[in-house]
Amino acid sequence: MRFIVLTLFKEMFDAFVNTSIIKRAIERNVVSIDVLDIREFTKDKHKRVDFPPYGGGSGMIMSAQPLGDAIDYAIFSLEKYKKKIKIIYMSPRGKLLNYNISKKLSQNDCNYIIICGHYEGIDERIIDEYNVEEISIGDYVLTGGELACQVLMDSVIRLIPGVINQESLFEESHTNGLLEYPQYTKPYEFKGRKVPDILLSGHHKMIADYRRQESIRITRQHRPDLINNEIIPKKEGN
């Protein structure tokens, strides 16, 4: 899977591509992440990439010319791989990212171009011309799309088979619609708090039941909205 990121702040991706699981996935050629500077594509003699909005209003809008040329270049670079190319714009007005969207993006047999906006947004004609999908990572506004883009790529890449242990994916929050149960490791006692006895019992079925009940308890407590989706029974046990 290939990602081409379009941004005005390339340096924000340095740590992301050089750390831990993402770094390893790149080294093993499971993914590639190329980061392009949108400013390099501007034809403006002052290297400007943003202008005030037509019709007035606050802030600046990223102009269609440099962004369009950057997208054309990214498409050209990816075409040789003969896979579908999906273009995503990280935007607070986009579809809200969740586990299912990340899973679907990880399973698509396609390559991605991700636009990171700054200022007050991008010229709408880019979205129309390139059939861009808008994705938000939450109901708040960031100063730019770079962090959101990293959140999106991280959540997708870790779901690609072979990137991380499949067993840990199976048990984690959101895979079955529930949040993850509490976990403990050594030492057995910490500041007077002991590990629940059942986890030391060696009784796999009872441990699995206990963990499921705990998952339901935590989901009810932290995210009651999730309880109403179909995967989780409305009431289980108590």
CA 58, distance to chain mean position in Å, is 29
Q: Per CB under 6 A, does 68 bind ligand ADE? A: no
H-run or E-run covering 91: strand 84-96
H-run or E-run covering 17: helix 14-17
- Number of residues lying near ligand ADE (CB under 6 A): 11
What burial class does residue 2 get, using C-beta atoms within 10 Å of its C-beta: 0-12 exposed, 13-18 middle, 19+ buried?
middle
Sole binder of ligand ADE in the list 61, 67, 126, 142 (CB under 6 A): 142
Least Å distance, CB 140 to ligand ADE, is: 6
Closest CB to ligand ADE among residues 87, 142:
142
**CA of 208: how far to CAs of 89, 204, 213, 215, in Å?**
41, 6, 9, 10
Give the C-alpha separation, 39 to 66, whole Å.
7
Tokens of 179: 């949040």
Sole binder of ligand ADE in the list 42, 63, 136, 150 (CB under 6 A): 136
Q: Per CB under 6 A, does 93 bind ligand ADE? A: no
Sole binder of ligand ADE in the list 52, 138, 182, 196 (CB under 6 A): 138
Please identify which residue in the block is written with the tokens 């796999």. 204
Q: In what order do the strands lie in the sheet with 32-37?
A: 32-37, 2-7, 110-116, 84-96, 133-136
Sole binder of ligand ADE in the list 53, 68, 92, 177 (CB under 6 A): 92
Instruction: Check: CB of residue 123 under 8 Å from CB of residue 15.
Output: no
Least Å distance, CB 104 to ligand ADE, is: 17
Closest CB to ligand ADE among residues 114, 216:
114
Closest CB to ligand ADE among residues 138, 196:
138
Closest CB to ligand ADE among residues 49, 142:
142
Closest CB to ligand ADE among residues 28, 95:
95
Closest CB to ligand ADE among residues 132, 137:
137
Give the C-alpha separation, 42 to 228, whole Å.
49
Q: Per CB under 6 A, does 66 bind ligand ADE? A: no
Q: Per CB under 6 A, does 53 bind ligand ADE? A: no
Instruction: Check: CB of residue 98 under 8 Å from CB of residue 24.
Output: no
Q: Which residue is nearest to ligand ADE (CB)?
A: 148
Closest CB to ligand ADE among residues 68, 92:
92
Binding site for ligand ADE (CB under 6 A): 90-92, 136-138, 140-142, 145, 148
